[in-house]
Amino acid sequence: MNAHYPNMLAPLDLGFTSLRNRVLMGSMHTGLEEEKGGYHKQAAFFAARAKGGVGLIVTGGIAPNYAGRVHAFASQLSFPWQVKHHRIVTDAVHAEGGKICMQILHAGRYAYHPISVAPSKIKSPITPFKPFALSARGIRKTVRDYANCAALAQKAGYDGVEVMGSEGYLLNQFLCARTNKRDDDYGGSLENRARLPLEIVRAIRAKVGDNFIIIFRLSMLDLVEGGNDWDEVVQLAKWLEQAGVTIINTGIGWHEARIPTIATSVPRAAFAGITERLRGEVSVPLIATNRINTPEVAEQILSSGQADMVSMARPLLADADFVVKSEAGQRQQINVCIGCNQGCLDHTFKMKRATCLVNPLACYETDLHLTPDSSGRTVAVVGAGPAGMAAACYAAERGFDVTLFEARDELGGQFNLAAKIPGKEEFQETLNYYRNRLKQFGVTVKLNHSANCEELKQFNERIIATGVVPRVPPIEGIERANVVTYQQVLRGEVEVGQRVALIGAGGIGFDMAEYLSEAHQSPTLNAPKWLAQWGVDLAYQQGAGLSERDPSAFESAREIYLLQRKSTRPGKDLGKTTGWIHRAVLKDRQVKFVTGANYHKVDDQGLHISQEGKSSLIAVDTVVLCAGQESNRSLSEQLTAAGVSFSLIGGAELAAELDAKRAIRQALEAVVAL
């Protein structure tokens, strides 16, 4: 028994096979599935996670037929000639001692192509195509296609399949009255609505025999009107067990639900309680999911009996060695997923290859290599924001002798400020990771040290990551005491009044509006409160897990105006999968959005603006500048003037559209190039 996380690291006996621990790497579409040479890239990606000790891997979703593809070019497994491609992946995982299941995903009405099918002809609110209702013949063919797909997966060497039955995809659409309006044997009563998923499970079991894992991802909390109630969920789980599933995984929320389920602001393990409710109702192992991102959270879920396994998808993108580091008692060395979605889901939704903000090597295992260097070269890294800290760690990992200079008295740069925003507490994990990593690699860290040109000449290599400074727009009265920058506010250097105008509605403007309007402790740190605020009821008093929202969700600590000069929708450039959450929170708190603003002056009365030629006063006590950033280039300009070579990364290189994802990735690329 492992002394550190005994429950998480305990094997799980499935009768015909055993898993080495309780960590499931949950299904994630990475985009490698559809890339040229993608099977080799997937093989390297999954093999790294198998080597890192994960108990069972589930691949991204693969369609059982054309209609089921998520988009026209998405992956499908239907033909014997495709088996050899999947072999590349399964062989690589098995060579590292891992086990892997293939997820079978039929998108139903979520398919992004015109020949999508569903139980009934009802368009989803998040896709443009109206689906065709499956005919009785179409249903029979779908069952055969699933069974065929699973049999091919078995031939390809997978240890099992996961049948995707949640998140609002086809089988979930059949299971719920919301989308199933059929009047034949596949609609109406629960028994009828469950008929297709159960026929599929039985057909798969009949094809693959007893010694093959079948996981069913069951929606335990639909979070949409017309979703199933708790008694129905329990009944479904029992029928699935009888039909022959090996494990039941938890699904939370349809994609069209307007409740966050995995974003960074969702409290850790917020939904584990729903998996716990199902324990005792069935005897197959149950997997808890969503916002489980550290070994201690996983251990807590397992030791308190909430589940038999935990699913972590994004945390395994962030750190392939999550499990082996846990085993070795190296919790502080784990690169924790911060739930930002910026490198993973946001990429997937834009049809870009997934990666990870905190680990740009993820999904680039065959493209980027940190090869060891024994030249003994010295490397100076200037600036200890995300770009500089990452560069120093990567350079030390390659074997260089690294010195990191930071002008302030702490590491972290702007990321320290980001971590102060309610809902972004998780960012502290990244700061801790880098602090520990710098120590582990013996990087010389010089705080309170503004590096200068002369001392930098002594090094063989220089990486300049001096970041950004807030832009101060030329507005009359900008120098007044009632005008402050977001940095001053977040560093606690200034008082902010009750009525506030924020100049600039970018990512930081939105974050500042959340920070200044938060009337209580961050709900992210209080799961029951957070669930109540979003109207989630794990006790299922009203069906589908929805309830009246807690009134505190609508309270604001201040009267806030969020302004921008553009006339476009505020927050339109925020993250694809998280922007809606920020917009919803500010709307709940009655933050007033002002677009098309021309700023004239600030005086004792507040901020004077005009819109479409019409002047007005926004009567506020404090004006906070969130008007973007400018690169801090003074050092790099001096180096250039002195003819000293260097690489420039992060905000110092380009302030526009800077985020930590780009900063860290540029750090990796600069170090790979050394």
Closest CB to ligand SF4 among residues 252, 338: 338
Q: Which of 236, 356, 501, 618 binds ligand SF4 (CB under 6 A)?
A: 356
Within 120-271, residue ranges assigned H as helices are: 136-155, 170-175, 190-193, 195-208, 230-243
Binding characters for ligand NAP, 305-344, by CB under 6 A (x = yes)? -------------------------------------x--
Query: Are the C-beta atoms of 271 and 223 separated by less than 8 Å?
Result: no
Query: Taking contact as CB under 6 A, which single stretch among the options 307-315, 371-379, 462-470, 560-568 is the one that binds ligand FAD?
Result: 462-470
Distance of alpha carbon 393 from alpha carbon 391, whole angstroms? 5
**Can you tell me which of 334, 338, 402, 594 binds ligand SF4, judged by CB under 6 A?**
338
The count of C-alpha atoms lying within 13 angstroms of the C-alpha of 471, restricted to the half-sphere facing its C-beta, is 17
507 binds ligand NAP (CB under 6 A): yes
Selected binder of ligand FAD within 212, 364, 405, 534 (CB under 6 A) = 405
| Residue 488: CB minimum distance to ligand FAD, A | 12
Task: Tell me how far apart the alpha carbons of residues 12 and 10 are, in angstroms, rounded to a whole number.
Answer: 7
Single out the residue of 382, 369, 603 nearest to residue 476, CA to CA: 603
Site size toward ligand SF4 (CB under 6 A) is 14
- Among ligand NAP, ligand SF4, ligand FAD, none, what binds residue 467 when CB lies within 5 to 8 Å by partner kind? ligand FAD
Q: 117 Cβ partners below 8 Å, 6+ apart?
A: 67, 68, 108, 109, 111, 131, 132, 133, 134, 138, 142, 170
CA separation (Å) from 659 to 300, 319, 407? 33, 20, 21
3-state secondary structure 470-499: ECCCCCECCCCCCEEEHHHHHCCCCCCCCE
Nearest to 265 by CA among 577, 663, 485, 557: 577
484 binding ligand FAD? (CB under 6 A):
no
Catalytic residue flag (residue 169): yes
Q: Which of ligand SF4, ligand FAD, ligand NAP, none does residue 564 bind to, with CB < 5 to 8 Å depending on kind?
A: ligand NAP
* Residue 668 binds to ligand SF4 (criterion: CB under 6 A): no
Indicate whether 564 belongs to the interface with ligand NAP (CB under 6 A): yes
What's the half-sphere exposure (Cβ side, CA atoms, 13 Å) at 379? 31
Burial class of 18 by CB neighbour count within 10 A (0 to 12, 13 to 18, 19+):
exposed
**Binds 382: which of ligand SF4, ligand NAP, ligand FAD, none (CB < 5-8 Å by kind):** ligand FAD
Residue 451: which of ligand FAD, ligand NAP, ligand SF4, none does it interact with, CB under 5 to 8 A by kind?
Answer: ligand FAD
Binding mask 499-528 for ligand FAD (x = CB under 6 A): --------xx--x-----------------
Q: Mask: binding to ligand NAP, 456-495, rule CB under 6 A, as x and -? A: ---------------x-x----------------------
Rounded to 5°, angle at Cα 648 from 643 and 652? 115
Is position 659 an interface residue for ligand NAP (rule: CB under 6 A)? yes
User: Among 141, 158, 153, which residue's Cα sits nearest to residue 68?
Assistant: 141
State how far the Cα of 440 lies from the Cα of 444, in Å rounded to an integer.
Answer: 11
Encoded tokens for 150: 């699973």
Q: Is the Cβ of residue 33 or residue 406 nearer to ligand SF4 in the bound state?
A: 33
Contacting range for ligand SF4; rule: CB under 6 A; set: 100-108, 331-339, 379-387, 582-590:
331-339
| Among positions 466, 517, 524, 647, the unique one binding ligand FAD when judged by CB under 6 A | 466
Residue 415 binds: one of ligand SF4, ligand NAP, ligand FAD, none (C-beta under 5 to 8 A by kind): ligand FAD
Applying CB under 6 A, which of residues 145, 319, 426, 659 lies at the interface with ligand FAD?
Answer: 659
317 interface partner picked from ligand FAD, ligand NAP, ligand SF4, none, CB below 5 to 8 A per type: ligand SF4
Q: How many whole angstroms separate alpha carbon 524 and alpha carbon 534? A: 11
The amino acid sitting at 658 is L
The dihedrals phi and psi of 430, each to the nearest 5 degrees, come to: -70, -40
DSSP for residue 536: B
Contact call for residue 386 and ligand NAP (CB under 6 A) = no
**What would the two tokens of residue 540 be?**
């299922």
Question: Please, what is the end-to-end C-alpha distance for the chain in angstroms?
Answer: 43
> How far from 619 is each of 405, 442, 481, 561, 626, CA to CA, in Å?
43, 53, 16, 10, 18
Q: Which residues bind ligand SF4 (CB under 6 A)?
A: 314, 317-318, 337-344, 356-358
Catalytic residue ranges: 169
Q: Which residues bind ligand FAD (CB under 6 A)?
A: 340, 342, 382-388, 405-408, 413-415, 417-418, 421, 450-451, 465-468, 507-508, 511, 632, 635, 650-651, 658-661, 663
Q: Which residues bind ligand NAP (CB under 6 A)?
A: 342, 471, 473, 503-509, 511, 564-566, 574-575, 626-629, 657-659
